[in-house]
Amino acid sequence: MSKKVFVTGAKGLIGKETLKPLLDKGYEVFALTTGEIPSHYSEVTWIQGNLFDFETVKKIFEEIKPTHLLHLAWQTTGKFNDNINFDFLSASLNLLKTFKENGGEKVVIAGTYIEYAESAELLDEYKSPLNPQHIYGKCKNYLREIAELYCKSNGISFAWGRIFSAFGLESDLRRLTGDVMNSLFNDKTVEIRSGSLIRDYIYSKDVASAFVEILDSDKQGIFNISTGIATSIKDYVLTIAKLMKKENLVVFNEQASNQYKFVVGNNSRLRDELGWKPEYTIETALNEIIMFGKEKYNVKF
């Protein structure tokens, strides 16, 4: 039987990295974009359309009738308390309903570690309490509750991947990796004010491979997409600087922060049930990103 997957957010940090693994697993891949059709991955069927245009989404699904749905689209950076989160919530529920009406079988949706309450322990999918602090986190958690209930009531396999601190080849300078690398490539000083915060950094390619493994399995429920490794922001930024041989441009000026002090995920479900593990370390991932950056900025160091 043909496996057809409809991917939202397919040009994003994580979405773009899911395309090759999906093709390699034999999926017929359909990807929604609001912008220009990318020239790469000619095997992918790119469709111009807007997630918020419910009638267009309905027509697309009636024509394609995808068996699988990988829903990654959501505007997050700098939008934690923006009303656009409610728009994405509404559009996501419509997407799920349209998927069901056209014979959809399995859906996997991107969640976030921000759904959890702050904890000094490893965050566990079913043991750690939830307490999202922003509109973004609350909308994500509400979507998970409703989507899980809807899928159970309609015989659809459902899984939810909580993404931890993903990094990759980023152009958005509001994100830490993109901001630090852009500054260092241009020989500008980088000031870090919350270096003591602990995060679970995971490369976008590893996040993508985890989502594809979940989608292609018979597993359901919530999965932490994380490495389980605690790394301070200070050590992460220093790793970037050392790899670029520009440690002298990084300044640490520790200040009080209202962000969670410790955010690390227990990824035992991914490891034990799916046999998944990260392919990249922080160093190997950053090395790969820096190589792309050297070409972009035409620099040597």
Query: What CATH number does residue 94 fall under?
Result: 3.40.50.720
> pLDDT per residue over 104-159, tens digit each?
999 999 999 999 999 999 999 999 999 999 999 999 999 999 999 999 999 999 99
Tell whether 146 and 221 lie within a shared domain: yes
Mean pLDDT for the stretch of residues 6-27? 96
In a domain, 275, yes or no: no
Tell whether 174 and 155 lie within a shared domain: no
**Residue 42: what pLDDT?**
84
Strand locations in 209-298 (E): 221-225, 231-232, 250-252
Tell whether 47 and 16 lie within a shared domain: yes
Q: How confident is the model at residue 289 (pLDDT cuts 50, 70, 90)?
A: very high
In a domain, 28, yes or no: yes
> pLDDT per residue over 179-211, tens digit each?
999 999 999 999 999 999 999 999 999 999 999
Tell whether 159 and 99 lie within a shared domain: yes
**Residue 301: what pLDDT?**
54
Q: How confident is the model at residue 252 (pLDDT cuts 50, 70, 90)?
A: very high
In a domain, 250, yes or no: yes
Residue 67 has pLDDT above 70, yes or no: yes
In a domain, 188, yes or no: yes
- Reduced to 3 states (helix: H, G, I; strand: E, B; else coil), residue 241 is helix
Tell whether 210 and 291 lie within a shared domain: no
Percent above pLDDT 90 for the chain: 87
Tell whether 214 and 111 lie within a shared domain: yes
In a domain, 83, yes or no: yes
Tell whether 122 and 190 lie within a shared domain: no
In a domain, 151, yes or no: yes
Tell whether 190 and 125 lie within a shared domain: no
**Residue 35: what pLDDT?**
84
Whole-number Å distance between alpha carbons of 133 and 142: 13
Structural domain boundaries enclosing 25 = 4-165+202-225
Tell whether 195 and 47 lie within a shared domain: no
For residue 64, how many other CB atoms are within 10 A of its CB? 16
Q: How confident is the model at residue 37 (pLDDT cuts 50, 70, 90)?
A: confident
In a domain, 253, yes or no: yes
**Residue 172: what pLDDT?**
72
**Residue 129: what pLDDT?**
98
Tell whether 160 and 23 lie within a shared domain: yes
Mean pLDDT for the stretch of residues 67-73? 98
Amino acid, res. 121: E
Tell whether 109 and 143 lie within a shared domain: yes
Number of compact structural domains in the chain: 2
Whole-number Å distance between alpha carbons of 265 and 246: 31
**Residue 152: what pLDDT?**
98
Tell whether 98 and 117 lie within a shared domain: yes
**Residue 300: what pLDDT?**
60
